Chain A
């Protein structure tokens, strides 16, 4: 299998889907001639033309509104937010129109919004957010958050082919840091299915996105130093999330640690924790632990950002507390 970076996997999914289905088109800020802020769509306009790779005005509301309209008439738009943070300007379109249309009119709304998310790139408060929790709370939207090149490509294909609006969270920090095998054959990663990235007996880390890699590193360190085996469950899809696999793992290890890069309070971890407590209370041998970034805006200073984000050291410490409970 060819090795690709995370960002290459996203690009190749878009490319192959545009080749496969002429209804698929891209719209966003500076995505055509400039190739996008992160060069995900570099060279696309030369191959697919200006009608299918559309540079828009700097107006997220217009981008999402136009994409929603196109989806309603049977096209399959993929809208790019230059940074996930900017989706706030399209918030009304997303939650009031995009999310509700199928419920109001009975029509499918097959569109994808790409959201380059996350910190650790010293981007400060406007270029580092993880805004998934706002949309997690909005019925009518699907949310995916790949952590590997394989999942990035497979989930993008599944998102484009899905009849519902899908928010696709992609992580700037992972773009060029994470490489992996990506099949050149057509494949999808099904939305709603978690992936057991590492098997274990003593505790489960439920996570997604960039913190998957922190969890794996931490699990490895604990295994080497202390002999405990930690299960790492990558959700991949946040809405719907894979309840069955979560419960299976909880029933096996009986101790749960939920980890995400988004800030803790009001984050998705709270909902997952509530779900586990509701459905697997009698399987818990310890209180569920959560970790996310600190409850502040994303700091700009690198030293502060380092303190703000979860990291391996913090994770190892909390997992050990859980193991020792």
Chain B
């Protein structure tokens, strides 16, 4: 007989503690290796924790709803091995050891993140892997779980040869942790009654819900919608996207152009880049642009710090970096703080425009619709141009219709007069 200590895993680089949400086993229960032992919750993520070993659950040291530091021993499992006490040091989600139990897996909705506005978006779970990519993965000992977290730059988010080679290179250089990003807990059906399943919100959902209610209560929202002719940016991107991707290793999207246009407008109308504290107006001297990234079970808004100090390439790199890390759950808390203005992208789902809710304590949020070719009237003739609807919700306490309207129109001017001669 041997005793294995189960510890509170570290669910991210910056996470210091975790809360036991629910024990799936009672003392005395048999547990299989990789079977779900408990659920935990941290600042970032909720997760089911599989058992590190097979055996009998002998002791539970941390009860439900208790919060402890990472690496704290939370349970003992007795195994049928030799007599030494072993500590299972779990750095992150300990899920990669072997193929998961098929039955357990089938019951869990997959937590593949995604739908970030910047890189190619798609559910990695449904991704196609080419024979070559699988072949390279096998030779380089990249597990399927790891592969699912490799950002794909190909069509539909596909992992290309370059993507996996780059991943392996980075991994060999010691920059990627081998373990896959932890999977957030599945929505648990607590009870069913009269054909209704009652499901507990996860931490992220609770936070989003609270924030939305608080924002609407705080700020009287007004929305304006305009449209921009994207011809110049469209042509510029068509011209440079091939060389850009070859050089940078990720695709050039429209998001950096939007960020760039917004920065210029914020410089012209600094009142938009402010916030309200009591009866004071805080004018921010820095411009930090948040870019909303949709995840499978929610949304996160990483922030490009001092975005006004970056050129277009720098913005593109920052957008890509944040989106990739958002998907892989590698964001640090400071990555999501300090935003002064937010851009969100309902267009990614093909929507023409939306009326987003302000990300407090900011004053405005810009929604970018789908870029579509549309007939437009130019000099009394009908032309076909790539057009986009841009909406903005703003805090009517401070931003009057005139200011909001002028700002929004300035964003349009910046987009339409984009300097196609610049370098990227």
Chain A residues within CB distance 8 Å of chain B:
225-228, 254, 281-286, 324-325
Contacts and interface: CB of A to CB of B under 8 A. Distances in A.
Contacts of A225: 242
B132 A254 contact: yes
A285 B161 contact: yes
Contact of B135 (A226, A228, A282, A324): A282
Q: Size class of B's contact patch?
A: 10 to 19
Contacts of A285: 130-133, 160-161
Nearest to A324: B155
Nearest to A250: B132
Contacts of B158: 325
Nearest to B251: A324
Leading 6 A-B pairs by shortest Cβ distance: A226-B242, A282-B135, A285-B132, A227-B243, A285-B161, A285-B130
A254 B161 contact: yes
A283 B246 contact: no
Interface in B98-157: 130-135, 154-155
Contacts of B154: 324-325
- Secondary structure of the B contact surface, majority rule: helix
Contacts of A283: 131-132, 135
Nearest to B243: A227
A214 B131 CA distance: 29
B123 to A, nearest CB: 18
A286 B242 contact: no
26 contacts: A225-B242, A226-B243, A227-B242, A227-B243, A227-B246, A228-B242, A228-B246, A254-B130, A254-B132, A254-B161, A282-B132, A282-B135, A283-B131, A283-B132, A283-B135, A284-B130, A284-B131, A284-B132, A285-B132, A285-B133, A285-B160, A285-B161, A324-B154, A325-B154, A325-B155, A325-B160
A226 B133 CA distance: 24
- Max count, chain A CB within 10 A of own CB: residue among B130, B160, B246, B247: B130
Nearest to B164: A285
A281 B246 contact: no
Contacts of A281: 131
A222 to B, nearest CB: 8
A88 B67 CA distance: 85
A284 B135 CA distance: 9
B32 to A, nearest CB: 34
Interface in B230-260: 242-243, 246-247
Contact of B134 (A226, A254, A282): A282
B249 to A, nearest CB: 13
A286 B246 contact: no
Nearest to A281: B131
Contacts of A325: 154-155, 158, 160
A226 B239 CA distance: 8
A188 B243 CA distance: 41
